A and B are shown apart, each in its own frame.
Chain A
Amino acid sequence: MTLTALLALLSHWRRKPGQLATLIIGLGLATALWTSVQAINAEARASYGEASAAMGAGRLTRLHAGEAGIPVEQWALLRRDGWAASPLIEGDLEVGGGVFGLTGIDPLSTRSEGGNLAPGDQIIGLEFLTQPGLLLVAPEDVESLTGTGLPPVLASANVTPGQILTDIAVAARLLGREGVIDAILIDDSARPGRTPLEQLVPTLEQSDGAAANDIAQLTGSFHLNLTAFGFLSFAVGLFIVYAAIGLAFEQRRASLRTLRALGTPVSSIVIALLIEALVLALIAGALGVVLGYLVASTLLPGVAATLRGLYGAAVSGELAIRPQWWLSGFAIAVFGALSATAVSIRQAAVLPLLAAAQPRAWAIASSRRYIQQAVFAFALLALAALIPVFFSGMLAGFAMLGGLFVGAALLLPPGLALVLNLAQRCMKGPVSEWFLADTRQQLPGLSLALMALMFALAANVGVGTMVSSFRLTFVGWLDQRLAAELYVSASDEAQSQELYAWLDARSDAVLPIWSANSTIAGQPGEVFGIVDHSTYRDHWPLLAAAPNAWDAVAAGEGVMINEQTWRRLNLSLGDPITLADTSALPLVAVYSDYGNPNAQAIIGLDPLVERYGERVANLRYGVRLPPEDVPALMRELEARFDLPEFGLIDQAGIKAFSLSIFDRTFTVTGALNVLTLSVAAFAMFASLVTLASMRLPQLAPVWAIGLSRGQLARLEMLRAGILALLTWLIAVPTGLVLAWALLAIVNVEAFGWRLPMHVFPGDWLRLLGLAVLAALIAALLPARSLVKRPPRDFLQVFAQER
Chain B
Amino acid sequence: MPMFCLSLMLAVTAVLSPVHAQGFAGLGVEAEGFAVPERGTRFDFPEDHGAHPPYRIEWWYLTAVMEDAEGRVYGAQWTLFRSALAPHSGEGWETPQLWMGHAAVTTPQAHYSAERLARGGFGIAGADPHPFQAYIDEWSMRSAAERIAPDGDALDALDLTARGEDFAYDLALTAQGPLIFHGEDGFSVKSASGQASYYYSQPFYTLSGTLQLPDGPVSVSGEAWLDREYSSQPLSENQLGWDWVSFHLDSGEKLMGFQLRQSDGSVYTAASWITPQGEVTAYEDGDLTLTALETHEVAGRTIPTRWRVELAERDLDVEINAVNPQSWMETSVAYWEGPVIITGSHGGRGYLEMTGYGEE
Contacts and interface: CB of A to CB of B under 8 A. Distances in A.
A–B touch (CB < 8 A): the answer is: yes
Interface string B1-40: 1111111111111111111011100000000000000000
B310 to A, nearest CB: 35
A51 interface: yes
B9 A110 contact: yes
A55 B5 CA distance: 10
B331 A165 contact: no
B114 A178 contact: no
Nearest to B2: A209
Contact of B11 (A81, A159, A312): A159
A172 interface: yes
Give the bracket for the number of chain A residues in contact with chain B.
35 or more
A631 interface: no
Interface in A101-131: 101, 103, 105-111, 113-115, 117-119, 121-126, 128-131
A565 interface: no
Contact of B16 (A111, A215, A314): A111
A17 interface: no
B212 to A, nearest CB: 12
B264 interface: no
A125 B7 contact: no
B12 A110 contact: yes
B329 to A, nearest CB: 8
B332 A114 contact: yes
A160 interface: yes
A185 interface: yes
B12 A107 contact: yes
Contact of B14 (A114, A122, A193, A314): A122
B22 A126 contact: yes
Interface stretch (A72-80, A375-383, A701-709, A718-726): A72-80
A212 interface: yes
B113 interface: yes
Contacts of A498: none
B86 interface: yes
A314 B13 contact: no
A129 B19 contact: yes
A60 B5 contact: yes
A87 B338 CA distance: 34
Contacts of A109: 117-118
Contacts of B164: 113, 191
Interface string A135-148: 01000000000000
A121 B14 contact: yes
B2 A60 contact: yes
Contact of A160 (B7, B16, B163): B7
B183 to A, nearest CB: 30
B138 interface: yes
B293 interface: no
A539 interface: no
A165 B119 contact: no
Contact of B92 (A136, A165, A172, A311): A172
Contacts of A160: 4, 7
Given A111-B117, A114-B113, A194-B138, A178 B332 contact: no
B185 interface: no
Residue among B4, B114, B119, B163 with most chain A CB within 10 A: B4
Contacts of B11: 105, 136, 156, 158-159, 165
B98 interface: yes
B43 interface: no
Contact of A50 (B10, B18, B118, B122): B10
Give the bracket for the number of chain B residues in contact with chain A.
35 or more
A54 interface: yes
B317 to A, nearest CB: 38
Contact of B119 (A52, A82, A106, A110): A106
B94 interface: yes
Contacts of B12: 86, 105, 107, 110-111
B6 A51 contact: yes
B358 interface: no
B124 interface: yes
A159 B2 CA distance: 15
Nearest to A119: B17
Contacts of A129: 19, 85, 98, 119
B53 interface: no
A129 B98 CA distance: 10
Nearest to A159: B11
Contacts of B23: 126
Interface string B79-101: 00000011000001110101000
A129 B99 CA distance: 13
Given A54-B13, A76-B123, A113-B165, A108 B7 contact: no
B6 A55 contact: yes
B92 A178 contact: yes
B268 to A, nearest CB: 28
B115 A130 contact: no
A115 B4 CA distance: 24
B330 interface: yes
A115 B164 CA distance: 12
Interface in A179-208: 179, 185, 190-191, 193-194, 207-208
A358 to B, nearest CB: 62
A80 B123 contact: yes
Given A113-B164, A114-B330, A122 B17 contact: yes
A160 B85 CA distance: 29
B119 A159 contact: no
Interface string A49-65: 01110110000101000
Given A82-B137, A126-B22, 9 more contacts: A72-B92, A103-B4, A108-B98, A115-B331, A159-B7, A165-B11, A191-B165, A212-B6, A311-B3
Interface of A: 50-52, 54-55, 60, 62, 72-73, 75-76, 79-82, 86, 88, 101, 103, 105-111, 113-115, 117-119, 121-126, 128-131, 136, 156, 158-160, 163, 165, 167-169, 172-173, 178-179, 185, 190-191, 193-194, 207-210, 212, 215, 308, 311-314
15 contacts: A51-B10, A54-B9, A54-B13, A79-B118, A86-B12, A108-B117, A108-B118, A109-B117, A110-B12, A113-B115, A124-B14, A131-B86, A156-B14, A167-B93, A314-B3
